[in-house]
Amino acid sequence: LLTATFSISTYNVLMPNSEDGWWVYKYYQSHVPRELREWEARQGRMKDLLLHHGGSDIVCIQEACGSSFDKDFAFMTEAGY
């Protein structure tokens, strides 16, 4: 009997938008450093997590911005997702 397996990861990325993500800041508590609230820093952390530590077959991204998704997550396309 053959068994097929796959893995799924899901992330809520708090609606990043490389063009204008002002609304994201209300979700962070005051102890989170401002530089970690910026999309560039969060994008780098997501890239590291997904490409170097994730290894999932399927990745679900919640609260992404449709108008800038291709730009914000280009690293995933480059990695074959």
Q: Residue 46 burial by CB count (10 A; 0-12/13-18/19+): exposed, middle or buried?
A: buried
Q: Residue 69 burial by CB count (10 A; 0-12/13-18/19+): exposed, middle or buried?
A: middle
- The whole-model pTM stands at 0.69
Average pLDDT of the residues in 62-70: 85
Instruction: Report pLDDT digits (tens) over 4-18.
Output: 899 998 988 877 665
Instruction: Report pLDDT digits (tens) over 4-59.
Output: 899 998 988 877 665 665 656 666 777 888 777 778 888 888 889 888 877 788 88
Average pLDDT of the residues in 63-69: 84
